[in-house]
Amino acid sequence: MTSWSTSLATLYYGILADAVDWRSFTSGPVVDLGGGNGHVAIDLATRFPSLEFIVQDLLPNESAFKATVPPEPVSRVTYQVQDAFNPQPEDLEPSAYFLKAVFHDWPDIACIQILKILVSKMLKFGSTVIMMDQCLQEGKFPLYFEGVIRHSDIFMFSLFGAKERTLPEWEAMFATAHSRLRLEKAVQPSGSESAVMQFAIT
């Protein structure tokens, strides 16, 4: 993650910022589920001053990271110890959940378990799920690039029983978690292995 955040981060931050109408999520905090040290949340908070973020992870390491960031926007980014497989805090009223490269580490059954937990908040507060993750496009990548992605697919399966997914596979997985959970928007820049996908209860 350190290597990613110091190399490709600038490119992906821009893609993420442009792909979503972030300014619309002001009814409650945006929850960065599995957000690590909060580097994505802090970048988004810098770009969108009207938003507040909660970074959830098992072992949030905010102290060292916050020390390198100016007080603003750190004041709008808080941290919370949270297992994604446990119910979300009862007092949390999120406008959106954001997951960056979380689900490609898990098999469908585990992803669906996490989604079912989030659905209860989505139904109650109209929350949205925004996801940035690998999205395979058959025959649409340069041969070498496709080879890299297929290698990642095998790697994820070997380590975690997980996989990289196509957009129809993402949609099917979300629909399995809840019959009304639908894809609202998907943005995948040309040549990017990652897509930004937005799901809501319809």
Burial class of residue 2 (count of CB atoms within 10 Å of its CB; 0-12, 13-18, 19+): exposed
Active site residues: 104
Closest CA to 69 of 48, 50, 43, 99: 43
User: What's the token pair of residue 12?
Assistant: 């992906």
The answer, yes or no, to whether the previous bond of 73 is cis (omega within 30 of 0) is: yes
Cα–Cα distance for residue pair 24/71, rounded to 1 Å:
24
| Residue with token string 């919370």 | 80
